[in-house]
Homo-oligomer: A and B are copies of this chain.
């Protein structure tokens, strides 16, 4: 019989080898590359954090610098491919295989590298799905993570950007793996313990903060009147009748418009306290006016947002905060909350086909999934009822016995019929299919599948797909809100008219919304500066958003 402790034994060897470069747990940054060569073995599964927002960029640079003769064939399992270094690892022959979730800023380069066979792709995941696999078949041997500061015992303070760190560390540290953290500073005592020191084996003091990008900031000045109209449709035609209180918003100007219309248009409709009270949401600055107007009871966040730190610290009744006063985010729990505790997901997309499949990929860019497919799916494992969920279920299956009829999650896709560069939102075939073909993927990277989407909102109206009783009706319902796009013009006018009679399609006028009323007056803030003012000066926008 062989050994049952090979992983712990390997960790002991790594600790001894790494200890040569360390004082206690502290590794000097100038020894980083030699240290990594000593502790990482060829073929290791490595999580280089690599989140949606924060990046362990010094460790990434250190890893890119190792000798590929010594460290090679790494299998990277990380949620975000964000920094150039994340892909340089493959160019340099250090890493070979990749399992990931999101690659926004690197979406073009990763597509080329995948097509050229420079990266062996495991799969593209949602965040929660990749985290799940950390505990089953993609457990890291090495975690390279980022925090704000550490004490000499390795206790870590992540500050507001806790994000993926607890999940990565739990999977690695409790399965014989090695956890290495970059921190700006080693201090006597951390403001709060985000990660206990006995799960952290080495700490690299870098003298600078980890890299973080303001991903969820949208300038109200760039919101169009069409987006305002769509927001009015969503609030009056979906949020109000379904009474959605527990909500998740995707990223984009359409949802930013909704956020900015709550305390104005929503208020005028008498909806305060009735909708949008509980959120799974990144700290969107565009939600500040609604929060200040008392609309929001509680928000749990996936991550933080640059500039929102002081505002959130001053609003602990709304945000989750720690003993130190600052935000505590947690992507795994917030994704779980979005999946199982929210009644609606609403987000933008780039392409929708005639059955309602949607995708944000184009043939040259594979941005990955992030969290949207998880939040934008109907969770069959849900068992607790709520008003919106039951109403949606009844619309979908009116003839089923109520006791055996599950509810449905509301999954809404919102967008202008003609988007960026005047391209049509509605397409015969998703570019995702072309991309799957090009990259020889087993599945096209569909963001939201047709069987999960319940509503499509454009400036022409709302298509309620729950009320469609056939594939043909579904197609006409989608064509019926596709405006002057080619697919919109291809509608069967008589059928679309019938669908409108049945309220499968609702036009602005059907909802008593005057097109002329859809203007910027409704925006509770019309600029980033307005948001700052609305926050009482607590919101501190990043310089790239300061144009005053």
Chain A interface (Cβ < 8 Å from any Cβ of B)? 3-8, 99, 122-126, 128-129, 131-133, 135-137, 139, 155, 167, 170-171, 173-176, 192-193, 196-199, 245-246, 278-280, 298, 300, 314-318, 320-323, 328, 330, 332-334, 336-337, 339-342, 357, 369, 373-385, 390, 401-407, 432-433, 436-437, 441-446, 449, 451-452
Contacts and interface: CB of A to CB of B under 8 A. Distances in A.
Given A198-B323, A340-B133, A384 B124 contact: yes
| Residue among A315, A317, A334 with most chain B CB within 10 A | A317
Contact of A136 (B246, B378, B383, B449): B246
Nearest to A155: B196
A342 B135 CA distance: 10
Nearest to A390: B442
Nearest to A192: B198
Contact of A315 (B4, B125, B432, B451): B4
Given A4-B318, A6-B317, A193-B197, 12 more contacts: A4-B315, A126-B381, A133-B337, A135-B320, A135-B333, A136-B278, A171-B333, A174-B320, A375-B381, A379-B381, A380-B452, A404-B444
Nearest to A315: B4
Contacts of A131: 333, 336
A1 B537 CA distance: 16
A171 B300 CA distance: 9
25 contacts: A6-B317, A7-B317, A123-B383, A123-B385, A128-B340, A129-B381, A132-B339, A137-B246, A170-B328, A174-B320, A193-B196, A198-B322, A199-B323, A357-B404, A369-B383, A373-B383, A374-B381, A378-B380, A379-B379, A379-B380, A380-B451, A380-B452, A401-B433, A403-B432, A407-B443
Given A278-B136, A340-B129, A403-B436, A167 B333 contact: yes
Given A4-B315, A318-B4, A336-B332, A403 B133 contact: no
A128 B381 contact: yes
Nearest to A195: B196
Contacts of A401: 433
Contacts of A125: 383-384
Contact of A443 (B245, B339, B383): B383
A340 B132 contact: yes
A171 B449 CA distance: 32
A406 B315 CA distance: 42
Nearest to A536: B1
Given A176-B316, A315-B4, A403 B443 contact: yes
